[in-house]
Amino acid sequence: MHLPFDGAKLDRLMEEAGADLVLAFTRHNIRYLCGGYFYHFHERFQAIAEAQYTPLLGVPRAQPERAFLVGGSGERGQAKDQKLWVPEIIPSERHPAAAARDAARAIRKRGLERGTIALELDFLPASAMDVLRRELPGARFVEALHFLEELRAIKRPGELDILRRITQTDAEAIQAAFRSAKPGATTRQIAARIEQEMTGQGVHFLWVFTAAGPAMLRAPSEKVWAEGEVLHLDAGGEQAGYLTDVCRMGCRGEPSPLARELFDACLATQDKVRAAIRPGALCGAIHDLGCETLKDAGHGGHGQFLIHGMGLVSHEQPRFGPGARRPLEAGMVISIETDIRHPEVGYVKIEDTVAVTPSGCEGLGDLGRGQWAVAAA
């Protein structure tokens, strides 16, 4: 049986967690384990009537041929069309309790009613959890989040292609918004242009943080991007469930010497961290390097450095922080963020997404990172 994920790795991670079966619920993990498949009707919303669509994908350890998917009554056609590898599709009602009853029945059918079931406990609806405990009183329930994150941590070439493409689209959308923003444009109008540009390139718009001038409001509003003000645009979107997140800087007219100084401090921090990213580098050391570099730039009191993993979830593995001992591996994707919030200038920020390569890292969507986008005054 051909699986769209590393089956041997999943078996090893499940064995380490003591799990006999993983029961995945979240859109990102079902998409990953199903090779991109998710019921199209509920791809961007789950609530319906008095409850929500609750897909449950069960994969027994070392027995993928006994996997099952509890889903909606209309899924069989799409699953067949997309050649979904899961052998058994179980139609159910769009209610967590009903889906859980059907999943429990499938687990008993496989003789695992007294086994250890790994669940995404922070995501699964309480009514579904109640039913599983009642229907499977002899089972032990454990957390699946950590080993499912670990399974997704190294991106395959196809995943990297998606992330490369959508991050470039994100960067292009931001630059188009800067270029098209006429004098008198509000941050809400500028954000709308980013959404338009992303959608036109097949990327689903998710958010944009805007911050024009020293007020530092990070939300689209009726605030006009005024002459002499800096503006950062921090935008994200998704395609096939994969996320992009980019932040670039612009100024209405030429930026002041102080604004340039702050920008250069952010850029220098980003560059130094990127130069240190390579397989084997420890996450804690990378985090500390960014914090120390920003502090040494002279504006650390107004600044913040943040670094996190990216993929189907923002802030997924790898995770960074003081003392983090995990080494980076080729194929990991990382977001690097440096900002300085100066009361005279405003919110200056650069955010890059990079992929770890065998010899260093590759910038995804680097357009506009090293220079100001200067709009007409």
What letter represents residue 335's amino acid? S
Question: What is the CATH code of the structural domain delimited by 7-152?
Answer: 3.40.350.10
- The rounded distance, in Å, linking the Cα atoms of 257 and 317 is 38
Determine the straight-line distance between the first and last CA of the chain, rounded to whole angstroms: 62
DSSP H helices, the chain, are 7-17, 27-33, 75-81, 96-109, 126-135, 145-152, 157-180, 187-200, 257-276, 283-294
pTM across the whole model: 0.95
Residue-level pLDDT, tens digit, the chain, 377 residues? 799 999 999 999 999 999 999 999 999 999 999 999 999 999 999 998 889 999 999 999 999 999 999 998 889 999 999 999 999 999 998 899 999 999 999 999 999 999 999 999 999 999 999 999 999 999 999 999 999 999 999 999 999 999 999 999 999 999 999 999 999 999 999 999 999 999 999 999 999 999 999 989 999 999 999 999 999 999 999 999 999 999 999 999 999 999 999 999 999 999 999 999 999 999 999 999 999 999 998 887 899 999 999 999 999 999 999 999 999 999 999 999 999 999 999 999 999 999 999 999 999 999 999 999 999 98
Q: Which residues of 95-124 are buried (b: 16+ CB within 10 A; e: fewer)?
A: bbbbbbbbbbebbeebebbebbbbbbeeeb
Are 334 and 305 within 8 A, CB to CB? Answer: no
- Give the number of other Cβ atoms within 10 Å of residue 188's Cβ: 14
- The rounded distance, in Å, linking the Cα atoms of 354 and 338 is 14
157-375: CATH topology: Creatine Amidinohydrolase (3.90.230)
- The rounded distance, in Å, linking the Cα atoms of 23 and 14 is 12
Over the stretch 226-254, which tens digit does the pLDDT of each residue have?
999 999 999 999 999 999 999 999 999 99
CATH 3.40.350.10-classified regions of the chain: 7-152
CATH 3.90.230.10-classified regions of the chain: 157-375
Are 283 and 320 within 8 A, CB to CB? Answer: yes
In the chain, DSSP finds a helix count (H) and a strand count (E) of: 10, 17
Predicted pLDDT at 305: 97
* Nearest residue to 331 via CA among 352, 313, 312, 354: 354
Strand pairing report for 21-24 and 373-375? unpaired
